[in-house]
Structure 1
Amino acid sequence: MNAVLYILVVVIWGTTWIAIAMQQGPVAVSVSIFWRFAVACAVLWPVMLMTRRLKSMRKADHLFCLLQGCCVFGFNFFCFYHAAAWITSGLESVIFSMAVLFNAVNSFLFFGQRPAPRFYAAALLGLVGMVVLFWDDVVGQTLSMTLLAGIGLSALGTYGFSLGNMISARHQKRGLDTLTTNSWAMLYGTLVMGATGLFSGSHFMPEWDTRYISALLYLGVFGSVIAFGAYFTLVGRIGPANAAWSTLLFPLVALAISTVFENYQWKSNAVIGLILILAGNLVMFVPVNKLRAGLRLKSA
Structure 2
Amino acid sequence: MNAVLFASVVIVWGLSWFAIHLQLGGTPTDVAVFWRFAVSVMLLGGWLGLTGRLRRPSREMVPWLAGMGACLFSCNFLAIYSSEMFLPSGTVSVVFSLSAILNALNLWLFFRLRPDWRVLAGGVAGVAGVALLLAGGADTGAGIAAPVGVGLALLGTTLFSFGNMLSRRIARFDLGLPNAVFYGMVFGAFLMGVNVISRGHSFMPVLTVSWIGGLLYLAAFASVAGFLTYLALVQRIGADRAAYTTFLSPVIALGVSAFFEGAHWSALMLCGLILILAGNLLAFMRKRPVVQPVEVEQG
Which residue in the other structure is 1:32 paired with? 32
Which residue in the other structure is 1:239 paired with? 238
Classify 1:105/1:68 alpha carbon distance in 2 versus 1 (closer, same or farther; 3 Å).
same
1:37 positional shift = 1.0
Q: Tell me the number of residue pairs that the alignment of Structure 1 and Structure 2 aligns.
A: 291
3-state SS, counterpart of residue 144 of structure 1: coil
Q: Deviations over 1:62-121 (max 9, x none)?
A: 221111011111000000111111100000000000001211221122112122222221
Q: Deviations over 1:128-174 (max 9, x none)?
A: 22233444324x26142222111000000000110111011112234
2:233 maps to a residue whose letter is L
Q: Deviations over 1:23-51 (max 9, x none)?
A: 11221211111111111111111110121
Structure 1 stretches lacking a partner, 5+ long: 294-300
| Equivalent residues in 2 for 1:249-264, closer than 5 Å | 249-264=248-263
Which residue in the other structure is 1:45 paired with? 45
- Do 2:136 and 2:266's aligned partners in 1 also have CA atoms closer than 8 Å? no
- The separation in 1 between residues aligned to 2:7 and 2:286, in whole angstroms, is 24
CA RMSD across the alignment: 1.9
| Equivalent residues in 2 for 1:1-300, closer than 5 Å | 1-138=1-138, 140=139, 142-289=141-288
Classify 1:175/1:245 alpha carbon distance in 2 versus 1 (closer, same or farther; 3 Å).
farther
2:195 maps to a residue whose letter is T
- Do 1:71 and 1:161's aligned partners in 2 also have CA atoms closer than 8 Å? yes
1:223 maps to a residue whose letter is A
- Do 1:118 and 1:287's aligned partners in 2 also have CA atoms closer than 8 Å? no
- The separation in 2 between residues aligned to 1:266 and 1:21, in whole angstroms, is 17
- The separation in 1 between residues aligned to 2:136 and 2:27, in whole angstroms, is 32
Q: Deviations over 1:233-275 (max 9, x none)?
A: 1111211111111112111000000010111225544443333
Segment drifting more, 266-275 vs 203-212: 266-275
2:185 maps to a residue whose letter is M
Name the structure where helix makes up a greater proportion of residues. 1
Classify 1:6/1:104 alpha carbon distance in 2 versus 1 (closer, same or farther; 3 Å).
same
- The separation in 2 between residues aligned to 1:80 and 1:215, in whole angstroms, is 15
- The separation in 1 between residues aligned to 2:214 and 2:268, in whole angstroms, is 31
- The separation in 2 between residues aligned to 1:81 and 1:133, in whole angstroms, is 18
Segment drifting more, 2-11 vs 111-120: 111-120
- The separation in 2 between residues aligned to 1:10 and 1:85, in whole angstroms, is 24
Q: Deviations over 1:201-243 (max 9, x none)?
A: 1011021111111111111111111101111111112111111
- The separation in 2 between residues aligned to 1:213 and 1:141, in whole angstroms, is 33
- The separation in 2 between residues aligned to 1:231 and 1:65, in whole angstroms, is 20
2:280 maps to a residue whose letter is N
1:85 maps to a residue whose letter is M
Which residue in the other structure is 2:295 paired with? none
- Do 1:80 and 1:92's aligned partners in 2 also have CA atoms closer than 8 Å? yes
- The separation in 1 between residues aligned to 2:185 and 2:96, in whole angstroms, is 20
Classify 1:72/1:21 alpha carbon distance in 2 versus 1 (closer, same or farther; 3 Å).
same
Q: TM-score normalised to the size of structure 1?
A: 0.91
Structure 2 stretches lacking a partner, 5+ long: 292-299
Q: TM-score normalised to the size of structure 2?
A: 0.92
1:278 positional shift = 1.6
- The separation in 1 between residues aligned to 2:140 and 2:236, in whole angstroms, is 49
- The separation in 1 between residues aligned to 2:273 and 2:117, in whole angstroms, is 22
1:33 maps to a residue whose letter is V
1:49 maps to a residue whose letter is G
1:93 maps to a residue whose letter is S
